[in-house]
Structure 1
Amino acid sequence: METEIPAMLAARQQVRPERFTFHSSRMRMKRVVKEELAAMDAESDRCALELSDARVDVLGYACLVAIMAMGHGYHRVSEKRLQAHTAANGADAPVITSAGALVDALKVIGARRIAVVAPYMKPLTELVVDYIRNEGYEVVDWRALEIPDNLEVGRHDPARLPGIVAQMNTADVDAIVLSACVQMPSLPAVAKVEAMTGKPVITASIATTYAILRQLDLEPVVPGAGALLSGAY
């Protein structure tokens, strides 16, 4: 959340007049396991309240797997509850989750069949895949990179991603989810994977940035951020 999304908004400032400020409140989590994710999600209410003190225009909840691990459709529950906290604080602001942004972005680009790369352990990745399938998409192929430590997820080298995708079945998919995780870096590899596969590539960060810009009623354009933010949608 604190790397690629601000980087995309900063890149947009080079081609469009709007300027952004970025505010964050953190939920604690060290190991990417279901128990810590549930405890982390419980802190989201505090975070929404803290951020609403700054009278922000939109809030983004960045941890995709924390939402998807809570059960089918939970992004809708979370977004509604967290927005209610901002309203109760006299600073009503829309809330976007990266989980909801990702499934909505697939609809925007017209994708039905997808391939997914995720940094999580296999059981958590299976929860993510099942969540996406429940939203009406066919996950043709997926890879779990099995990185349990949260800090190591953020240190994963995005230059590895094209090679990982090259080993997957992408011939019959409509789109590739290059990172089903805002934390795992992927932006430097997006253009390469799009060129390599001929498929649109989205990530949790790209989808969240798109959703933020749409919620702000701004043109969803960011240079170098793949098909979704090319201006075509």
Structure 2
Amino acid sequence: METEIPAMLTSRYSLFPDEHFTFHSSRMRMMKVSPEELKKMDIDSDRCALELSDARVDVMAYACLVAIMCQGAGYHSVSQARLSKTVAGNASDAPVLSSAGALIDSLHMLDYKKVAIITPYMKPLTQQVIDYIEAAGIEVVDAISLEVSDNLQVGRLDPMDLVSHANRLNIGQADGVVLSCCVQMPSLPAIQVVQDRLDKPVLSASVATVYQMLKTLGLKAQVPNAGHLLSGAF
């Protein structure tokens, strides 16, 4: 969240030189990616949203996809409504998005019925992500779990390794590929490479979050070399 989303927003300056973004973050604690720590992390999201509302930002995004998805189908709507109420109590009208909601909403906007995904999670957590996506009416035709439980190690994975991982996906029936179903696992340098290689639309949780942020701000959803969703066509 703190690396790829600012990278995408600032890379727009070559296309839209009058734009300027500042980026603000507040952290929920979590070291091991486990259901127990993810639940504790989610409870902390109200504190983070309240802190960020002091900055009078124009849009907020809750980063952790799996912290939302492991709470059960449709929880992103519950979370976003609660956090919106929290920031409104601090006289902020900033819309609150989430990476989980952004991914689901973007896949619906694209009218994708079937996707293949890659996650850094242990297989049980990946299954919860699959269940969440499928509960939203989108079939997951194949999934790869990299099974990295240490959150710091997830952030240090080489994004270009996703090129070879993507080659192992069964994408024959997929409308698109979610190259990183996690904003902590880096993927931005590989998005366009994998899309060109597979000849399938490729996105990530971070890409979907940026798309929804830009649409919320009333800006054109275009970022160089960030795949189909941010091509400017939508």
Which TM-score applies when normalising by structure 1?
0.99
The secondary structure found in structure 2 opposite 1:32 is: coil
Paired residue for 1:180?
181
Partner of 2:9: 9
Return the alpha-carbon distance in structure 1 between the equivalents of residues 195 and 93 of structure 2: 38
Task: Name 2:168's counterpart in structure 1.
Answer: 167
Please report how far the alpha carbon of residue 110 of structure 1 lies from its aligned counterpart in structure 2 after TM superposition. 2.1
Please give the alpha-carbon distance, in whole angstroms, between the structure 2 residues aligned to 1:92 and 1:85. 10
For 1:53, the equivalent position in structure 2 comes to: 54
Instruction: Name the SS for the 1:13 alignment partner.
Output: helix
Alpha-carbon distance in 2 for matches of 1:12, 1:61: 22
TM-aligned CA deviation for residue 159 of structure 1:
1.2
Assess if the C-alpha contact under 8 Å between 1:84 and 1:92 holds in 2.
no
- Counterparts of 2:103 and 2:219 in 1: how far apart (Å)? 19
In the TM superposition, what are the counterparts of 1:114-133 in structure 2 within 5 Å? 114-133=115-134
* Structure 2 counterpart of 1:101, one-letter code: A
Determine the C-alpha separation between the residues in 2 that align with 1:91 and 1:161.
Answer: 39
Per-residue deviation, 1:167: 1.1
For 1:30 and 1:152, the matched residues in 2 are separated by: 10
Read off the aligned partner of 2:2 and give its amino acid letter: E
User: CA RMSD of the aligned region, Å?
Assistant: 0.7
2:221 corresponds in structure 1 to 220
Residue type at the aligned position of 2:44:
E
- Equivalent residue number for residue 145 of structure 1: 146
Per the alignment, in what secondary structure is the counterpart of residue 60 of structure 1?
strand
1:76 is aligned to 77
Unmatched 5+ stretches in structure 1: none
Query: Which amino acid in structure 2 is aligned with residue 118 of structure 1?
Result: T
Distance 1:231 1:141 in 2: 28
Q: What SS does the corresponding residue of 2:51 show, helix, strand or coil?
A: helix
**Structure 1 consecutive aligned stretches of length 4 or more whose deviation exceeds 3 Å:** none
SS of structure 2 residue aligned to 1:156: coil
Structure 2 distance, partners of 1:172, 1:75, is: 27
- How far is 1:120 from its partner? 0.4
> Identity of counterpart residues, as a percentage?
58
Whichever residue aligns with residue 87 of structure 1, its letter is A
Query: Does structure 2 conserve the Cα–Cα contact (< 8 Å) formed by 1:27 and 1:47?
Result: yes
Q: SS state of the match for residue 173, structure 1?
A: coil
Q: Which amino acid aligns with 1:173?
A: A
TM-score with structure 2 setting the length: 0.98
Q: Could you say what secondary structure the match of 1:176 adopts?
A: strand
Rounded Cα–Cα distance in structure 2 between residues aligned with 1:121 and 1:73: 22
Q: Distance in 1 between matches of 2:21 and 2:196?
A: 30
Aligned to 1:89: 90
Q: Retained in 2: the 8 A contact 1:176–1:202?
A: yes
Question: Contact 1:115 / 1:142 at 8 angstroms: preserved in 2?
Answer: yes
Equivalent in the alignment of 2:34: 33
- Using the alignment, how far apart are the partners of 2:84 and 2:93 within structure 1? 7
Query: One-letter code of the match for 1:54?
Result: A
Question: CA shift at 1:165, angstroms?
Answer: 1.1
Letter in 1 for 2:147: E
* Alignment partners' CA distance in 2, 1:74 and 1:93: 20
Q: Give, as a single letter, the amino acid of the residue that structure 1 aligns with 2:231.
A: S
Task: Kindly tell me the number of residue pairs found equivalent between the two proteins.
Answer: 233
Once the two structures are overlaid, the 10-residue window that deviates more, 85-94 or 31-40, is 85-94
